[in-house]
Amino acid sequence: MPTILDGIATAAAIKRDLSRRVRSLRLHGVQPGLGTLLVGDDPASTRYVAGKHADCAEVGIHSIQRRLPADAGQDRILEEVRALNADPACTGFIVQLPLPGAIDPNAVINAIDPAKDADGMHPYNLGQLVLHIDGDPGTPQPCTPRGIIELIGSHGISLDGKDVCVIGRGVTVGRTIGLLLTRRGENATVTLCHTGTTDITRHMRQADVIIAAAGQPGFVTPERIRPGAVLVDVGISRVLDAETGRYRIRGDVDRACYPKASAYTPNPGGVGPMTRAMLLTNVVEIAERAVGETRPE
């Protein structure tokens, strides 16, 4: 039977540890605080931000919520970013993407203080990952890639020497996860595949691990994987069910692949909870660095 890489249970264990660390920080007079900036009223973004603040309440992290209307201009958004940069109660924060209209998301991300970059996506922090191949760079790390690696490792699966095929070249996962996977601690060999890849099926069949982040429902099928592969499903698509007339969530990995795999992430319930847990982890680690503590092993 394949191993189910249960993100819900693993994230719950991480949050229990974070609760203990938050209590320790309070003994040093430090209260970690997570800020969010939500622009507009997109239902999915609103639910996602609400979930982050529910997580904060669970582990004892202070919530700082900022919201702007959908017609807020870039100058107004940048003004709010600068306010969060300067707020001493805000340990780290995120600007919820996507941003509406003609707002330049890169300009907004660049305006975040790298030391408060709870998503770990500021160019400075990504650059630190490039420079540090031997371990923790001491800066916030991208949440979804870090969550994937934590989830795999927590189930006793080694990435050392494994061939990993990453599908999709988005910044959130595809273009960033290779920086973590190729550190000496993970020691994996990474192939990044995308729409320009010739014979993508060949790369998938050769892989020990497939990380699918293409946003194409059912893209990974049984005939495209090797027996015993580890399957990590990052993609989320809303697909109309012809029988019910309702939309349902489908991942990039066809569920028919599961019996052929040695391990897989359910979707939902796999990578998503880990991304949120890593967001909290980044905030707590930022606070720990401020008081000179080190992350427990």
Considering the candidates 15, 52, 116, 162, report the single residue annotated as catalytic. Answer: 52
SS (H, E, C) 13-66: HHHHHHHHHHHHHHHCCCCCEEEEEEECCCHHHHHHHHHHHHHHHHHCCEEEEE
Distances from the Cα of 232 to the Cαs of 98, 161, 196, 198, 201, in angstroms?
A: 23, 18, 21, 22, 16
Q: Which residues are annotated as a binding site for NADP(+)?
A: 168-170, 236
Four-point Cα dihedral 185, 273, 195, 132, nearest 10: -30
Q: Give the CB-side neighbour count of residue 182, counting CA atoms within 13 A.
A: 15
Tokens of 64: 């700082």
Is 52 one of the catalytic residues?
A: yes
Is 119 one of the catalytic residues?
A: yes
How far is it, in rounded angstroms, from Cα 110 to Cα 78? 10
Look-up of token digits 């273009």: 175
Cis peptide before 98 (omega within 30 of 0): yes
Q: Which residues are annotated as a binding site?
A: 168-170, 236
**What's at 47, amino acid-wise?**
R
Considering the candidates 96, 117, 141, 254, report the single residue annotated as catalytic. Answer: 96
Is 128 one of the catalytic residues?
A: no
How far is it, in rounded angstroms, from Cα 241 to Cα 116? 41
Tokens of 103: 């707002």
Considering the candidates 55, 117, 119, 208, report the single residue annotated as catalytic. Answer: 119
| CA-based nearest residue to 100, from 74, 75, 122, 118 | 74
- Greatest Cα pair distance, the chain, in angstroms, is 57
Q: Which residues belong to the active site?
A: 52, 96, 119
